[in-house]
Structure 1
Amino acid sequence: MPNLLPPCPSTLSLAIRTGLFGGLLSAALCTLATPVQAEPARREQRLYQIPPGNLDQALTQFAASAGLLLSVDARLTAGKPSLGLQGHYSPAQALGKLLAGSGLSAYFSDDGRVLIERAAQASDALELGATRVKGQAEDDALKDYGVPRSVETRDLEQLERFRGRSNADMLAGIAGVQTSDGRNGGGIEVNIRGIQGQGRVPVKVDGSQQSLDVYRGYAGTAQRAYIDPDLISSVTVNKGPSLDAGASGAIGGSVEMQTLTVDDILKPGQTTGWRLRGSLSDNSTADVPSDYRVRPRTERNDLLHPHDWSRSLAFAHKDEAFDVVAAYAERRNNNYFAGKHGYSRYDTSVSSGGALVDANTVARNYWPGEEVLNSSTHNKSFMLKGTLYRDNGLELGLGYRYMDSSFGEIMPSQIGRTGPSMTWPLGDFKKDIDRYDEEFWMRANPEYYQQCSAIDAPVPDGDNRWDSTGCYVRETLDPVYDYTDANQMIQFKPGNMKLHTLTSELKWRPEDDSLARYIDLNGHAWATFGRSIMYNNVGFTAPQRGQGYQDEQSENYRKSLKSDLSNLKVGTDISNTSRFVTGTGDYALTYGASYLYETIDPTRKPWQDDLENNRIERNGYRHEYSLSTALEYKPIPELTFTAGGRYSGYRIHDRNRQALFAAPVGADPDAPWWNAEFAGFADNAELSGHGFAPAYSVSYAFTPNVMAYALYNQGMRMPSLFETTLGSWSAEPNYDLRPERMKTFEVGASFKGSNLLLDNDQAGVKLAYFHNTIDDMVTRNYRYNPKGRPGFNGELKIRNVDSFTTQGVELQSHYDSHWWFADASYVYNIKAETCDRAFAQALREGGKSETPNCTTGGFQGSYTNTQNPPRYSVNLVLGAKAFEQKLATGVRMRYTSGPMYVLDKSWHVGTTTPQQHYLEARIYDFFADYQVSDELKVSFNVYNFTDQYYLDPMSQSMMPAPGRTSSLAASLKF
Structure 2
Amino acid sequence: MNTITRYGIKLSPIALALGVAVSFPTTAQSTSTIVTFNIAQQPLSTSLNLLAEQANMNLIADASLLQGLKAPAIYGQKTLIGALTFTLEDTGLSAKVVNNSIIIQKNGAIKETKQQNKRDLHNKKANKHAHKDTPENIEVIVVSGNKIQLDRHQLDRSKGSSNSDIFSTFTGIDANNLRNEAGALDIGIRGVQGEGRVPIFIDGSLQSTHTNRGYMGTSDRTYIDSDFISTVAIEKGATAKSSAFSAGAIGGTVNIRTLNTTDILTKDQSVGALIKLKTYNNNHTPTVSDNPWQQQYYQVSNHNSTSDFDNGGILLAGAFKTDQLNAVLAYSDKKTGNYFAGKHGFENFVETYEWGQVLPPVNQNGEVVNTSFESESYLAKVQYAFNDEHDIELNTRHHQQQAGEMLASYWFKQREGDFWILPDGEYGTIPANIETMPQWQPGTALVNSASLLYRFLPTNNPLIDLKINAWTTNAKLQQYNALASNLGPNALQYFHEYSNQRHGVGIYNSAAFTVSSIPTVLMYGASWQNEVLKPKAGALEYFYTDKTTSRDGKQTVRSVFANGQFDFDPIELTLNLNHHDSSTHDYQGEHEIKFSPKTDFTALLHYNVFDNTTLKAKYSKAYRMPNIYETTISNEVFTYSSDYPVIPENSNTFELGIESHFSNALIKGDRLTLSASYFDTRIEHMLATAQLPNKDPDAEPWQTTKYTFTNYDSFELPGIELNLNYQSDLFYSTVSYTNYTNIKICSALISDIEQVDRCNGQGFSGSLTPLRIPPKRNLVVGFGSTFIDDQLDIGFTYKGHSDKQHPAGFLSGTGAKAVSKIPASYQLDFYANYKFNDMFSGFTTITNLTDRYIVSSGSIVAMPEPGRTVTLGLEIKL
* Global fold match (TM > 0.5): yes
Q: What do the CA deviations read for 1:317-368 (whole angstroms, capped 9, x no partner)?
A: 1121111011101111011111111111222479xxxxx9xxx97x520000
Equivalent residue of 2:823, what SS? coil
Percent of matched pairs sharing the same residue:
25
Structure 2: which amino acid aligns with 1:175? T
Residue 573 of structure 1, CA deviation: 2.6
Q: Would you say the 8 A contact 1:309–1:331 is kept in 2?
A: yes
**Residues 687, 915 of structure 1: CA spacing in aligned structure 2 closer, same or farther, 3 A cutoff?**
farther
Residues of 2 paired with 1:19 and 1:596: CA distance? Answer: 34
Q: What do the CA deviations read for 1:609-639 (whole angstroms, capped 9, x no partner)?
A: 958644532111110011111222233x211
Q: Would you say the 8 A contact 2:472–2:504 is kept in 1?
A: yes
Tell me if 1:527 matches 2:472.
yes
Residue 225 of structure 1, CA deviation: 1.6
Q: Would you say the 8 A contact 1:623–1:652 is kept in 2?
A: yes
Structure 2: which amino acid aligns with 1:260? L
Task: Give the structure 2 partner of residue 954 of structure 1.
Answer: 858
Residues of 2 paired with 1:407 and 1:760: CA distance? Answer: 49
Q: Would you say the 8 A contact 1:566–1:603 is kept in 2?
A: yes
Match of residue 637, structure 2, among 705, 713, 730:
730
Residues of 1 paired with 2:84 and 2:463: CA distance? Answer: 15
Residues of 1 paired with 2:708 and 2:668: CA distance? Answer: 62
**Residues 102, 278 of structure 1: CA spacing in aligned structure 2 closer, same or farther, 3 A cutoff?**
closer
Tell me if 1:776 matches 2:681.
no
Match of residue 400, structure 2, among 377, 381, 404:
404
Residues of 1 paired with 2:288 and 2:206: CA distance? Answer: 33
Residue 591 of structure 1, CA deviation: 1.3
Q: Would you say the 8 A contact 1:775–1:802 is kept in 2?
A: yes
Task: Give the structure 2 partner of residue 169 of structure 1.
Answer: 165
Tell me if 1:623 matches 2:556.
yes
Task: Give the structure 1 partner of residue 648 of structure 2.
Answer: 739
Q: What do the CA deviations read for 1:890-939 (whole angstroms, capped 9, x no partner)?
A: 2111112222x442279x86648855522122211111110000100011
Q: Would you say the 8 A contact 1:563–1:617 is kept in 2?
A: yes
| RMSD (CA atoms) | 3.9
- Normalising by structure 1, we get a TM-score of 0.74
Residues of 2 paired with 1:345 and 1:954: CA distance? Answer: 17
Match of residue 639, structure 1, among 557, 565, 571:
571
Task: Give the structure 2 partner of residue 871 of structure 1.
Answer: 776
Task: Give the structure 1 partner of residue 71 of structure 2.
Answer: 56
Moved more, 257-266 or 183-192: 183-192
Residues of 2 paired with 1:75 and 1:733: CA distance? Answer: 61
Task: Give the structure 1 partner of residue 327 of structure 2.
Answer: 324
Task: Give the structure 1 partner of residue 26 of structure 2.
Answer: none
Residues of 1 paired with 2:324 and 2:730: CA distance? Answer: 38
Q: Would you say the 8 A contact 1:730–1:795 is kept in 2?
A: no
**Residues 48, 731 of structure 1: CA spacing in aligned structure 2 closer, same or farther, 3 A cutoff?**
closer
Q: What do the CA deviations read for 1:22-61 (whole angstroms, capped 9, x no partner)?
A: 9xxxxxxxxxxxxxxxxxxxxxxxx9984614552799xx
Residues of 2 paired with 1:760 and 1:289: CA distance? Answer: 58
**Residues 883, 825 of structure 1: CA spacing in aligned structure 2 closer, same or farther, 3 A cutoff?**
same
Residues of 2 paired with 1:170 and 1:776: CA distance? Answer: 32
Moved more, 100-109 or 758-767: 100-109
Going by fraction, where is helix more abundant, 1 or 2?
Answer: 1
Equivalent residue of 1:781, what SS? strand
1:543-942 alignment to 2 at 5 Å? 543-544=485-486, 549=487, 559-607=492-540, 610=543, 613-635=546-568, 637-657=569-589, 683-735=590-642, 736-752=645-661, 757=666, 761-784=670-693, 792-793=703-704, 795-817=706-728, 819-843=730-754, 848=755, 851-899=756-804, 901-904=805-808, 911=814, 914=818, 917-942=821-846
Q: What do the CA deviations read for 1:212-247 (whole angstroms, capped 9, x no partner)?
A: 222222222222221210111111111111242331
Match of residue 343, structure 1, among 331, 340, 346:
346
**Residues 198, 19 of structure 1: CA spacing in aligned structure 2 closer, same or farther, 3 A cutoff?**
closer
Task: Give the structure 2 partner of residue 238 of structure 1.
Answer: 235
Match of residue 189, structure 1, among 186, 189, 210:
186
Match of residue 493, structure 1, among 436, 441, 463:
441
Task: Give the structure 2 partner of residue 281 of structure 1.
Answer: 280
Q: Would you say the 8 A contact 1:536–1:563 is kept in 2?
A: yes
**Residues 483, 71 of structure 1: CA spacing in aligned structure 2 closer, same or farther, 3 A cutoff?**
closer
Residue 479 of structure 1, CA deviation: 2.7
Residues of 2 paired with 1:5 and 1:799: CA distance? Answer: 55
Residue 731 of structure 1, CA deviation: 3.0
Equivalent residue of 1:250, what SS? coil
Residues of 1 paired with 2:377 and 2:599: CA distance? Answer: 40
**Residues 161, 50 of structure 1: CA spacing in aligned structure 2 closer, same or farther, 3 A cutoff?**
closer
Structure 1: which amino acid aligns with 2:367? E
Q: What do the CA deviations read for 1:361-381 (whole angstroms, capped 9, x no partner)?
A: 7x5200001111111111111
Equivalent residue of 1:866, what SS? helix
Q: Would you say the 8 A contact 1:858–1:865 is kept in 2?
A: yes
Residues of 1 paired with 2:742 and 2:809: CA distance? Answer: 17
Task: Give the structure 1 partner of residue 482 of structure 2.
Answer: 537
Equivalent residue of 2:312, what SS? strand
Residues of 1 paired with 2:287 and 2:475: CA distance? Answer: 25
Structure 1: which amino acid aligns with 2:637? S
Moved more, 397-406 or 294-303: 294-303
1:235-274 alignment to 2 at 5 Å? 235-242=232-239, 243-274=242-273
Count of residues paired in the alignment? 783
Q: What do the CA deviations read for 1:268-324 (whole angstroms, capped 9, x no partner)?
A: 111110011101111111544445122111231234x31021111110111211110
Residue 817 of structure 1, CA deviation: 2.6
**Residues 571, 916 of structure 1: CA spacing in aligned structure 2 closer, same or farther, 3 A cutoff?**
farther
Task: Give the structure 1 partner of residue 203 of structure 2.
Answer: 206
Residue 392 of structure 1, CA deviation: 3.3
Structure 2: which amino acid aligns with 1:854? C
Going by fraction, where is strand more abundant, 1 or 2?
Answer: 2
Residues of 1 paired with 2:530 and 2:86: CA distance? Answer: 38
**Residues 49, 591 of structure 1: CA spacing in aligned structure 2 closer, same or farther, 3 A cutoff?**
closer
**Residues 158, 558 of structure 1: CA spacing in aligned structure 2 closer, same or farther, 3 A cutoff?**
closer
Residues of 2 paired with 1:650 and 1:817: CA distance? Answer: 51
**Residues 410, 335 of structure 1: CA spacing in aligned structure 2 closer, same or farther, 3 A cutoff?**
same
Residues of 1 paired with 2:864 and 2:31: CA distance? Answer: 62
Residues of 1 paired with 2:161 and 2:848: CA distance? Answer: 11
Residues of 1 paired with 2:223 and 2:529: CA distance? Answer: 19
1:4-83 alignment to 2 at 5 Å? 50=65, 52-54=67-69, 56=71, 73=83
Structure 2: which amino acid aligns with 1:170? I
Equivalent residue of 2:178, what SS? coil
Rg larger for:
1
Q: Would you say the 8 A contact 1:804–1:834 is kept in 2?
A: yes
Task: Give the structure 2 partner of residue 141 of structure 1.
Answer: 141
**Residues 563, 286 of structure 1: CA spacing in aligned structure 2 closer, same or farther, 3 A cutoff?**
closer
Q: Would you say the 8 A contact 2:191–2:717 is kept in 1?
A: yes
Residues of 2 paired with 1:506 and 1:706: CA distance? Answer: 39
Tell me if 1:312 matches 2:257.
no
Match of residue 336, structure 2, among 306, 326, 333:
333
Q: What do the CA deviations read for 1:867-911 (whole angstroms, capped 9, x no partner)?
A: 221111111111111111100012111112222x442279x8664
Residues of 2 paired with 1:51 and 1:971: CA distance? Answer: 39
Q: Would you say the 8 A contact 1:903–1:915 is kept in 2?
A: no
